[in-house]
Amino acid sequence: MINFKVDFNGRCNEGKPYYDVQSYSFDFKPRSSYEAMARINYLELGFNSYNGRILHAIGLCAYHSWVKTEKNPPAYKRGSLIAEAKIKRELKVYDIESEDWPVQFNPVTGWICIGTPYENNEFEAVEFATDTIAIIKNKNLKAVWIKPRNLIHEFLANDIKI
pLDDT, one tens digit per residue, over 122-160 is 899 999 999 999 999 999 999 999 999 888 777 766 677
Looking at the domain assignment, is residue 25 inside a domain? yes
Is 109 among the domain residues? yes
Please give the mean pLDDT across all residues of the chain: 87
Tally of domains in the chain = 1
Residue 55, domain member (yes or no): yes
Residue 10 lies in a domain: yes
Residue type at 47?
A: F
Helix ranges, the chain (H): 151-157
Residue percentage of the chain with pLDDT more than 70? 91
Say if residues 114 and 82 touch (Cβ distance below 8 Å): no
Q: What is the pLDDT of residues 13-33, one digit of tens each?
A: 999 999 999 999 999 998 877
Q: What are the E-state strand segments in the chain?
A: 3-7, 16-20, 25-29, 36-40, 43-47, 54-60, 67-68, 77-78, 80-84, 93-95, 103-105, 112-115, 124-129, 132-137, 140-146
* Residue 89 confidence (pLDDT) above 60: no
Tell me, yes or no, whether 162 lies in a domain: no
Question: Is 74 or 117 the better-scoring residue by pLDDT?
Answer: 74
DSSP string, 84-102: E---BTTB-EEES-SSPPP
Is 19 domain-assigned? yes
Full residue range of the structural domain in which residue 35 is found: 3-157
For residue 63, tell me if it sits in a domain: yes
Residue 84 falls within a domain, yes or no?
A: yes
Distance CA 144, CA 15 (A): 17
First vs last Cα of the chain: how many Å apart? 34
> Closest Cα partner for 38 from 56, 15, 12, 25?
56
